[in-house]
Amino acid sequence: MEEKSENDKMHSSLSLERISDDLFMIFENEIMFQRYYPPKESIEKRTDEYFEQKSKEMEMESGEFKDSEIELLKNRIFKDILPAFSEYRQIKDSYLEGIEKRSLLKYIGFTMLFLETLEAIFLKTGAFAPPTLIASVLFEICLGAAIYRVKNLTDQGKTVAAKEHFFATVHNTQESLYTDIEYSEYQHKKGTDQIISEINVLLKKYDNKDHFWDDFIKIRKHDPTTRTSFEKLNTPKFGDFILLHFDDKYNSQIRKIRYDELFKQAELYFKNKQ
């Protein structure tokens, strides 16, 4: 059962590894074209568009999906995967640029010049004097071509290593993401009772539901994350509830969950008070 569950994760249409494969193919296919025609949008913008498209597809297929998991997945892509691809891209660009600038004829020419110079220096002793001119020229051509080939293979090896590093980063990040998702679910379950407790304390401060909804609308609209922005709204009764929203202690997704739970509980609370 555990193997099946893991397999389902790995082959999910929104798995980090599958998305990374998709993005790698998209960006890789554009590398040559973008060397001559710079892209109008950054890879970050393209990634945002990719997620928007995927979210629409998931909604049409299943009708609903977990925003929190998508948010965690997207954050991981931007934090770990895109920087790894950018590193690969720089090495690949350097390799392609080297191939364009590197000339086989120049390598052969410089090799012949170097060897002929050595021959001229050591000609008196005959240490480097070739037995025949034709053999000397052939040797110099082959050596120059070999140096050219080795240089290309060395740069290509760096590109292959960078690509392997990219996919190793994807694999390691995928494993870490599983932990993040499981921990997020654990925290959500663990935090439900705490949220309800905070909500009950808040709602008891309001005798009039209209006053509550007026304050709630202000808070929800502006979503204050600093004490200064909160105080400008003049909703002091929300002080204890909103305190944990300050200084990015809760991300936007968690704040949304708290607001949604507050809305639901407030409707029930004031309905029961009638």
For residue 83, the tally of other CB atoms under 10 A from its CB is: 12
Q: Whole-model pTM?
A: 0.46
Q: How far is the C-alpha of 224 from the C-alpha of 233, rounded, in Å?
A: 9
Q: At what angle do helices 209-222 and 252-273 cross, to 10 degrees?
A: 170
pLDDT of residue 9: 40
Q: What is the Cα 17 distance to its own chain's centre? A: 11
Q: What is the Cα 250 distance to its own chain's centre? A: 21
**Nearest by Cα to 80 from 183, 173, 180, 10:** 173
**Side-chain half-sphere exposure of 208, counting CA atoms within 13 A:** 4
Identify the residue whose tokens are 């640029």: 97
pLDDT of residue 12: 46
User: Per mean pLDDT, which of 122-126, 176-180, 235-239 is the most reliable?
Assistant: 235-239
**pLDDT mean over 92-103:** 79
Asked whether 63 and 44 are in contact (CB, 8 A), the reply is: no
Q: How far is the C-alpha of 109 from the C-alpha of 34, rounded, in Å?
A: 32
Which of the pair, 7 or 23, is modelled with greater confidence?
23
pLDDT digits (tens, 9 = 90+) for 167-218: 888 888 877 777 666 656 655 665 566 788 889 999 999 989 999 999 999 9
Scanning the chain, the segments in alpha helix (DSSP H) are 2-10, 16-36, 43-62, 67-76, 82-101, 104-122, 133-203, 209-222, 227-231, 239-242, 252-273
Q: For the chain, what percent of residues have pLDDT higher than 70?
A: 75
Asked whether 231 and 243 are in contact (CB, 8 A), the reply is: no
Domain range annotation of the chain: 2-186, 204-273
pLDDT of residue 217: 95
**pLDDT mean over 8-20:** 61
Distances in whole angstroms, Cα of residue 55 to Cα of each of 26, 30, 63, 69, 253: 18, 24, 11, 11, 16
